[in-house]
Structure 1
Amino acid sequence: MVAYAEKVFKVKNGKKTTKFTWRSRYKKPDGTWGSEPGFPTKRLAEEWGERQEVAISEGRWVDPELSRKKFGGFVTEWMAAQKPRGRTTMNRWERLESHVLPRWKDTQLGAFNWFDVEAWARELALTAARSTVRDCVQLMSRIMNGAVDKRYVTVNPLAGRRLTGLPADTVKRKSDEETVAEPEVVLQLARRLGPVYGLHVITVAWTGLRWEELAGLHRRNALLERRQKHDGGVFTCPVIRIDEDEGVLAEYTVRDEDGKRRAFRALEPPKNAKSARDVDVPPFLAQLLEKHLADWPHDFVFTTKTGKWWWRSYWFEVLRPAADGRDERKPGRGRPASPAWESIMRGLTMRDLRHTHDSWQEEIGVAPVLGYEQMGHKYPGIKGTYRHPTPPMRKFRLEGLQGLYERAMRNLGWESVWEG
């Protein structure tokens, strides 16, 4: 061992005093001398230097200077090294900038401890949803794992820790009644929106497809055919294909090298392997889609009337008054008159319609392994390996969904969804 200690005299008013502390000196891997000041005794300084040299010889040494790097600086480095889907990147930056960095950006990586992080999380939970708080802490832990991998720190003090003592969630959640729509409600909303936009709503409710899956659906994947051997013949049904190669419509913000943001839309692969799938379409919906495609001049099935991809915010402006209701609007400059609309289901969202579909599957008794597949979810446990959907399961599901449509049409007294 070559580590040693040296005196460091304190200075007051530009003059050296008789008071001193000890500085540890040790040989770094590149042969240069490292130092660490501030030890009260010579022995402590020597022992600290010796521990550094042992760690160096065993290949587990972390430069103390690197552990003093600030969290905010490392966040930029860590985020630049990640390559998740664009929307995931956007969500991470939102968590970091809104909640994490205001508190932790100037904290040294080596100064983190679970006690302080958990106390901060409890305070954050007073104004943010529990899910947001957990997401923030999990993201911080992943970043600290990166710091360990980069050899900036030896351990991640957040790894494997569980948040406890969070206050009651302050975010009001929708009730089941506010989340799951009746079939009659979906059809009324579709009629109000008209055959172009209304079909989008019906398709989500009767297939459970995600927003980005339908917004990026190309017409060549809209009505394909499933064929499976069954009962001495072949079971067939129309399907919508979420194609791994075609992708789904991703919408998020991206940053240039200067940190400036811009909106971005493009087709990207589905979020995971289970999301790439064929979704069985009930007969009535297949007929509606076939009629729509016969008259629709654009390549993508669900777009604006001019064939442009939807922005989520623009669709929101279309859906909200249709679901929530609106006051009568007089004609104005370049704007036609609009009649008043009563509320059909206030607050309904496209995500609620996806929840609605999965709830309907449960209501009509769809086999869980098929229900998971159709929603693009992984069936849990070992049964996800051994169980597979069969043609009778598929027929039962399609008959159940068709029955929900036919019953709703009878209850409404309608012959067709759209008049005229």
Structure 2
Amino acid sequence: MAHAEKVYKVRNGVKTKQFSWRVKYRAPEGHVPEWLSRSGFPTKKTAEDWGNEQERLIREGTWIDPDKRAVTFGEFARTFMASRKKRGRTVGTRWDKLERHILPRWDGVPMGKISWFDVDTWQQTMDLEDVSRGHCVSLMSTIMTAAVDAGYITVNPLFGRRRTKDTSGDAARPKAPKIQRDGGPRPEDAVLLAERLGPNIGVHVLTTAFGGLRWGEGLGLHRDNTLLMRRQPWGSGTFECPILRIVEEYAEYSERDESGAKKGYVVRLEPTKNDGSTRDVDVPPFLAQLLRWHLEVWPHPRVFCTPSGRPWLRGNWSRTFRPACDGRPKREKRQGVSERAAWEPILPGLDMRALRALHDTLQSELGVKEPLAFEAAGHRRPGIKRHYQKPTPAMRAERLDGLEETFWRAMGNLGMTALWGRELPNRPTELIS
């Protein structure tokens, strides 16, 4: 039971007749010290009422330790980051958002003083794309939910709230798309780009466009996991097709220690980002043939890497890839520099993510069934149907036939029968024997 006692004021080392009231109340079981107190109440009743309220909250499990109540967002955010073991790139991305955008505003603010109104007002002032604002608010909400679980606050005021979006002035105008074409890239663009970049890089482009691999997954693909065979009983026969086994990927990021200090820039092989990303991707016949030719002459364990066998860095890849997409001027021969032919643009703004998106667009165009479409893209299908519906060999054969036909139609539209001066066999392939 909480009880109050007088606290006399002292002036010049002498106790005066003026006093206020201090309440003592029993702390939760196991807390040190066993009794807690608070001073400064004007009357005995207000002191006891406050103490009894604290004991009620303790019994209900909603009491917040005064020491935790004073912890700032920045202090808890650093505790949160040190306690969450994520993939290296995820950790780096979170620290970047915290250091660049979140902590400059919220580092010294006590957890209990953060309101949705203040956060929503702040995010509207950020000089960022709207999607990046959303990521910052989402990370803040994740940290504050952890603070609720750790007993620092009783409720996360950010949870489930919808951000206010700026619709005034230029904000209401649609942003110019990165790729200046309605509908995005075509299969013909992927073929032209692959032909221009040559066989070693071109096969990477076509594998992304017709296989849907993420950038890091392509870099991490090992030759031991390339063109394995899927064999499944189906009807009176067996379904067979070559596959790419996706089990790891390269990630490029700035490594951090537990306190968030940068340790250096790394390119590191990691497991795939989630269980949906670890998968076997069925390969259409034309792509299987291109990969066989590639593996015959490629000396390195990783199927898609630099000529020296190292994983591509994004900057080095961009210097190779961007001119092929965007075009380049002719370079005249001069001392120490060879002549270089001009390239007309194929599709300015095209990147590897857009080529991966092309694969998913083709799956939709071909009517690939949802269980297989999600699997091939490395996406975790939401809902209960994930547990009930599974890809069948008939679905797989339909997808492969569609991708094969799409590739050859693109080749025909371009008037091509060969890639890199090598004729491709254009013949129907039986997938179910």
- For normalisation by structure 2, the TM-score amounts to 0.86
- Give SS of 1:251's match: strand
Per the alignment, residue 341 of structure 2 pairs with 339
Q: Which amino acid aligns with 2:250?
A: L
Identify which of 385, 389, 392 aligns with 1:390: 392
Count of aligned positions:
413
Q: Which residue of 2 aligns with 1:182?
A: 186
Cα shift at 1:177? 3.1
Say whether 1:221 aligns with 2:225: yes
Q: Which amino acid aligns with 2:359?
A: H
CA distance in 1, matches of 2:412, 2:102: 53
| Same amino acid, percent of matched pairs | 46
Deviations 1:13-32 (A, max 9, x none): 99999987655444444345
Does the 8 A contact of 1:239 with 1:280 survive in 2? yes
1:195 corresponds to 2:194: no
Task: Could you tell me which runs of 5 or more consecutive residues in structure 1 were left unpaired when the two chains were aligned.
Answer: none
Counterparts of 1:262-281 in structure 2, within 5 Å, are 262-281=264-283
2:8/2:15 contact within 8 Å kept: no
User: What residue number does 1:101 align with?
Assistant: 103
- For residues 60 and 234 of structure 1, the distance between their equivalents in structure 2, rounded to whole angstroms, comes to 61
SS of structure 1 residue aligned to 2:382: coil
Alignment match of 1:329 (pick from 308, 328, 331)? 331
Residue in 1 aligned with 2:53? Answer: 51
Query: Could you tell me how far 1:203 is from its partner in structure 2?
Result: 0.8
CA–CA separation in structure 2 for the residues paired with 1:102 and 1:401: 49
CA spacing shift, 1:23–1:142, aligned 2, 3 Å: farther
Instruction: Map 1:23-172; keep pairs closer than 5 Å.
Output: 23-28=22-27, 29-31=31-33, 33-37=35-39, 39=41, 41-56=43-58, 60-124=62-126, 127-159=127-159, 161-168=160-167, 172=175
Q: Distance in 2 between matches of 1:349 and 1:385?
A: 34
Kept in 1: contact 2:2–2:23 (CA 8 A): no
Show the counterpart of 1:318. Answer: 320
The one-letter amino acid paired with 1:210 is R
Q: CA deviation at 1:47?
A: 1.9
How far did residue 329 of structure 1 move? 3.1
Deviations 1:232-265 (A, max 9, x none): 221211111113xxx2222222113661241222
Once residues 155 and 61 of structure 1 are traced to their aligned partners in structure 2, the CA distance between those partners, rounded to angstroms, is 12
For residues 139 and 15 of structure 1, what CA distance do their matches in structure 2 show?
53
Alpha-carbon shift at residue 205 of structure 1 (Å):
0.3
Return closer, same or farther for 1:3/1:315 CA change in 2, 3 Å cut-off.
farther
Q: Distance in 1 between matches of 2:93 and 2:196?
A: 33
CA contact (8 A) 1:178 1:347 kept: no
Shift in CA distance, 351/173, structure 1 to aligned 2, threshold 3 Å: farther
Separation of aligned partners in 2, 1:119 and 1:375: 37
CA distance in 2, matches of 1:8, 1:255: 52
Q: Is the 8 A contact 1:179 1:355 kept in 2?
A: no
- CA positional deviation for 1:381: 2.6
The match for 1:207 among 204, 211, 218 is 211
How has the CA–CA distance of structure 1 residues 178 and 331 changed in structure 2, closer, same or farther, with 3 Å as cutoff?
A: farther
**3-state DSSP of counterpart to 1:184:** helix
Q: After superposition, what is the alpha-carbon deviation per residue over 1:141-200, rounded to whole angstroms, capped at 9, x for unaligned?
A: 2211222222222332323x3124322467826379366311211111111111111111
Structure 2 equivalent of residue 254 of structure 1: 255
Q: Contact 2:180 / 2:348 at 8 angstroms: preserved in 1?
A: no
Secondary structure at 1:102 match in 2: helix
Change (3 A) 1:257 1:371: closer
Q: 1:38 to 1:417 in 2, by over 3 A?
A: farther
The alpha carbon displacement at 1:350 in A equals 0.6
Q: Matched residues in 2 for 1:84 and 1:224: separation?
A: 30
* Alpha-carbon distance in structure 2 between the residues aligned to 1:63 and 1:301: 56
Q: 1:66 to 1:288 in 2, by over 3 A?
A: same
Structure-2 separation of matches of 1:368 and 1:176: 29
Q: Is the 8 A contact 2:2 2:48 kept in 1?
A: no
Q: In the TM superposition, what are the counterparts of 1:333-412 in structure 2 within 5 Å?
A: 335-412=337-414
**Greater CA deviation, 346-355 or 29-38?**
29-38
**TM (normalized to structure 1)?**
0.89
